[in-house]
Structure 1
Amino acid sequence: MTVTAKPDSAALDQRTATQAEDLLAQACCAEPGRREQLLNEVVVLYLPLARRLAMRYSGRGEEFDDLEQVARDGLVEASRRYQPGHGGFVAFAVPTIQGKLKRHFRDHGWLVRPPRQLQEVLIGVRRQWAQSAQELGSEPDDGALAAAVGVDAQVVKEARQAAAGYRGGSLDTPAVAGAESRVETGEDGIDTRVLIGKAIARLDEPERRLLKLRYVDELSQDAIATEIRTSQMQVSRLLARTHGRLREIIGEVG
């Protein structure tokens, strides 16, 4: 019996790099249609890279599916902008993808950071929601989630409302518990929930619906796109614009 040794990751990476460089070189002098096809092949080769980079930013309050889509968008952008002969493709693609991910967090992070209790409850609710939805075959209500997480239903409701104020912290260093700056009840006399509630009330109906789909119904950007019949990229833009409006309003009412 002959056993064939599996190539190590370095060999696979080198093989991928060689294939990609060849495709990129061909794309430089190809007709538009053929060029698009060649660049798409490069993107497919490096989808695992986009996924790995997205995973580095997971666990920060954003759905992984959304992060992976953002990373893929960055990969597509890198393939279109890359110029052969100016360094390796990966060296160009990685910072391009990371830049996309960081901009995504800047556009979609905590507007006003809620009390830590609500942050912790929200994390527990999201995990329990996914588990319960799978087991029950339907969406659990706040009462069921509260019982599973071990808090009152009102706290679950407040955590959902606070989710609409999400805006990411530093993306260059790991989050350290207690290190971030917060606006909380009892700190400078500001009640985060009231502040966010007032701001959301001043949004237009389409903007409020968008926030509900994203943070209360907890739909991914792809799912929202299907719901409102548009593209994932347009949903990302709409969310960024809505968060911008919220920041402006919070500045006025705060």
Structure 2
Amino acid sequence: MDDPNYSDIPRRIALLRSANCSEAEVDELRNDIIAHCMPLAEHISRRYVGRGEQADDLKQVALVGLINAVDRFNPEFGDDFLAFAVPTIMGEVRRHFRDTRWAVRVPRRLQEVHLAIGNATAELVQKLGRAPTSKELADDLDITLEQLEQAQLAGSAFSAQSVDVPRGNDSDSQPFMDAVGEPDVSFERFENHDALRAALDALPPRERTIIIMRFFGNKTQEQIAAQLNISQMHVSRLLTKTLRSLRGRIDGD
């Protein structure tokens, strides 16, 4: 991205990092850079207006993201400041929405991965000199491609449309509610599946094995005890403790 309005920012940030400036000069130069880039933060904040937050509040949050971008940008990795600053500012705004309001319940782990995508993308753009592929982004975040896609889709939970809104522009268009089927009781189980998998992965190997054998392998406590060469009473205690831990993790998500 080549924009004359911001093309000089990398050079000015490099000067900011150099040892040739006094502390007062560093503060003045940093403030000048931030002031010069404020229209960028304001432009991004306007994209999120209408989602339940005040425009002035969004401007302030975007400004925090801009400050983070200026402080974290490394000219040695590349000279495309916009490619780094835009996802950094957007990530700060999204983090604000995560902490204040999500229109649809999303597991906390997915929220955090969704918000980490912006910073990871910005850093990879600097290192690679181009937009990262999905695999490169997933590898950088240490997640699978499936988890990356789920986190990207989680962004749609920032806002929701009323089911009473007509489906079309015609005066006789049906509301969305009229086209929605009956509630599906399996949705809640599906929603908790990701949180359960993450909670299982976090268990110690033996406790995870016992849970899998008991609830996925349909083995009795006696069979588990015999296979693991421990007492049935010990299996019972571990099951009770592990199930309590799993409930706590899932409820926390």
**What TM-score does the superposition give when structure 1 sets the normalisation length?**
0.40
Determine which structure has more spread, i.e. the larger CA radius of gyration: 2
